[in-house]
Amino acid sequence: MKQLPSLKLSQLINLSFGFFGVQIAYALQSANISRIFATLGADPHQLSFFWILPPLMGMIVQPIIGILSDKTWCRFGRRIPYLFIGAIIAVAVMIMLPNAGSLGLTTQVVCWGLTGSMIFGLFSLMFLDTSINIAMQPFKMMVGDMVNEEQKTQAYSIQSFLCNLGSVVGYLFPYIFTFLGVQNVAPEGVIPNSVIYSFYIGAAILIACVIYTTMNVKEYSPEQLEAMPEVAEEKQETGSAVTSAKTPSIGYTFFSIGLVQFFCWAAFMYMWSYSTGAIAEMCWGTTDTYSAGYQEAGNWNGVVYALQAIGSVIWAACIPFVSRALHSDKLCYALSLILGGLGFISMMWVTNQYVLFGSYLLVGCGWAAMLAFPFIFFTNALQGNPKMGTYLGLFNCTICLPQIVAAVLGGTFLGLVGSQVNMLVLSGILLICGAAAVWNIKMKK
């Protein structure tokens, strides 16, 4: 066997199908966390601080999952046990988090400007993101473990497609429940039922999708991997002090992609933190977080996030063809980020909620590329490496660290630029900087 065997389309889909359910949970978190904490009484200048926990937990958890899963093998597989454990914890927390304002907790400040309900919400958010990270990382690792280089672009494009399809569903849930007559407003400090029910249904879909993947994916055993020449060759290369001048080191590939990731994930951190407030300000003319207009803007935020995800689904399906047409994955990556950046910048002129559709469709192009290309480049550099999970866990720091930095600086930047709308414009500038940094990436030939 010269390389990992080629997989059928159905096998490639099964590898990432559970990602659909995991991404529903992640979409509900990303679209509603700022709304939830604003409803619980958080000041807009504090919102970015609530977003520190998700990437911080990811930076801690995913390397640990990578290291442990590299050394794990049982009758359920290598990565799948962690996937299942993460999903079970996520389901439990998704039932608790949206009830932060409904448990009779104090609405008075307890410490550091936080009320009892906010503290409960913070701990729930910490556990939710920990569990989502535990469940999410195995999917990236399984593609790296089981897919050869020829199919890698297709495999990660399928993963991106399913990921964004899950986002569409998760983002639209509150809007759909409101349309069906579920209450979208609630007493002060209480999360509306439209959001609560969305988390409940998302939890049910998550566990169903993960069960499907665990029943339909059979990972390669350590003995099977050892028998593949790719792995043996990689071990020889790892143990050798000689490195080809034409092949960039894993470290260089890591940091060059990491620079692009820094700009991109900082940009999306500001979108997640400030888009609800920006839409309320731009299209509903309100900054009152208890008003019906703000809650409508919160629902609309889910709608435009769904449009972003639809744009990502379409662009993810096109990425293999665009890359071939341009004869360059790097050029396709940079083009995608520029389109996303222009989508963000265009929002500074928007006052109509429907015009936002075009802006967020463009943002989706950048998001699709962010979910696919970094992992294509990095796992190609790691192909056959027995420490694939460890490296991918560490690589997740290039996603988490920029979000932490952006969250810490968010309140300062908001004070400088003056409005939440301008924070989205800043996101566009950051994505274009990321596109410029793509040219510094050197790929394995």
Q: Which two tokens stand for residue 416?
A: 């400088």
CATH (domain of 406): 1.20.1250.20
Determine, yes or no, domain membership for 235: no
C-alpha–C-alpha distance, residues 178 and 199, integer Å:
14
Determine, yes or no, domain membership for 271: yes
Determine, yes or no, domain membership for 236: no
C-alpha–C-alpha distance, residues 424 and 406, integer Å:
13
Of 249, 255, 226, 223, residue with least CA distance to 237:
249
Determine, yes or no, domain membership for 194: yes
Burial of 383-393, coded b for 16+ CB within 10 Å and e otherwise, reads: bbbebbbbbbb
Determine, yes or no, domain membership for 53: yes
pTM: 0.71
Determine, yes or no, domain membership for 230: no
* pLDDT, one tens digit for every residue, the chain (445 residues): 456 788 888 888 998 898 899 989 888 887 777 777 777 666 665 666 666 777 777 778 878 887 888 788 887 888 888 888 889 998 988 888 787 766 665 556 556 566 667 777 777 777 887 888 788 878 878 887 888 877 877 887 788 788 878 888 888 898 899 899 998 877 776 788 888 899 999 999 999 998 998 888 888 777 776 776 555 454 444 443 333 434 567 788 888 999 999 999 999 999 988 998 899 999 998 888 778 888 888 889 888 988 988 898 889 888 888 988 998 889 999 999 999 999 999 999 998 999 999 999 999 999 989 988 887 888 777 766 667 677 877 888 888 889 889 988 988 999 999 889 999 999 999 999 999 999 888 765 5
Determine, yes or no, domain membership for 310: yes
Which range marks the domain in which residue 344 is found?
9-219+247-440
Q: How many domains does the chain have?
A: 1
Determine, yes or no, domain membership for 226: no
Of 388, 389, 387, 399, residue with least CA distance to 59:
399
C-alpha–C-alpha distance, residues 122 and 31, integer Å:
16
